[in-house]
Amino acid sequence: MILLLQYTLIFASVLMLVALGGCFSEHSGVINLGLEGIMVMGALGGALTMKTLGDTGGAALIVPAVVLVSSLAGVVYSVLLGVASINFRADQTLVGTAMNMLAAALATVIVKSINMAENPDNVSSTIQYMSGKKALTANIGRFQFNWFMLIAVILLILSYVILYKTRFGLRLMACGEHPQAADSVGINVAKMRWAGVLISGFLGGLGGIVYITAGVSEWKFETGVAGFGFLALAVMIFGQWKPVNIALAALLFGFFRALSNVYSGFDFLKQLHLPGTIYNMMPYIISLIVLAFTSRNSRAPKAEGIPYDKSER
């Protein structure tokens, strides 16, 4: 049971961070379907940081360094979405899809190049980061606490405050609801949308490194992040683009994802004689069921996905 709680919280942290990233982007009026790719690039940056630092300096050095590099990698990669969708007014769905396809391939090439430089016979796309990963966790009794759980909660609170209690957040949401009206009162729509996209990259990149350190000591980057970016989008929609609701939705989806890791430890589940793939599919099946019943009542930002044209009033 403790292991189930541990995995639920860490997977919920991943989904919550990435869904909050999508929330900021869509509140600004830009659909970010590239969250999957942003997660991969954030995971790459964080994994390389852990590999480089090892266990040097402990958590006091490794945690801030991993957070900084992984989130920065996500921000840099999200620039592709910003340039294409805001500056060039490209179709945001196509741009996001292209970003997802590019990220896994790009990360694989980078990792293989690094491995071959270190050892010409090593053409693996895997990064070993076990020694650095140890600094991210602390044992509290039988419970393994991950520092990213605390970071996720802090960022959830900050997201709520920023969106609903600051002038910046209210302006951001205005650009996603009615950009023409926002522009008429002096709000720079392009700058606000850029801010939303970059914040989305920050949170998505951070979510990527949390995902690959959730339960493994190495990661094969050609496998990507197993659809977690799209699952985070489902969490965002189910949470109605509201931070608190997103957190609750992330816990629900995180529970079903965690179940696939620990189901063998529950006798009543083993007695069902279901293959492990069923439990692995569970969070995605649940997302389809939930969205089928709730999407009709979903209220997305009105101007999301629509390139802003200053000449239209």
Structural domains of the chain, ranges and CATH numbers in brackets? 2-297 (1.10.3470)
Query: How confident is the model at residue 223, as a pLDDT?
Result: 81
Residue type, 23: C
- Whole-structure pTM over 0.75, yes or no? yes
Mapped onto helix, strand or coil, the DSSP state of residue 218 is strand
| Residue-by-residue pLDDT tens, the chain, 313 positions | 788 899 999 999 999 999 999 999 999 999 999 999 999 999 999 999 988 888 777 788 899 999 999 999 999 999 999 999 999 999 999 999 999 999 999 999 999 998 888 888 878 878 877 777 778 888 888 888 899 999 999 999 999 999 999 999 999 999 999 999 999 999 999 999 999 999 999 999 999 999 988 766 568 888 888 889 999 999 999 999 999 999 999 999 999 888 877 776 666 666 677 777 787 888 888 888 888 887 777 888 999 999 988 766 5
Token couple for 175: 């650009």
Element (H, E) at 288: helix 276-294
Q: What pLDDT is recorded for position 192?
A: 97
C-alpha distances in angstroms, 95 versus 39, 84, 160, 194, 307?
16, 7, 28, 15, 13
- Closest by alpha carbon to 206, among 10, 97, 46, 37? 46
Strand, coil or helix: 97? helix
* pLDDT attached to residue 76: 98
Residue 272 sits at φ, ψ, to 5 deg, of: -75, -20
Q: How far is residue 36's CA from residue 270's CA, in Å, rounded to a whole number?
A: 32
Structure tokens at 149: 């759980």
- Residue 312's pLDDT is 67
**Residue 183 Cα distances to 173, 187, 199, 226, 244, angstroms:** 13, 5, 21, 39, 29
pLDDT number for residue 267: 65
- Strands (E) in 3-103, as ranges, are none
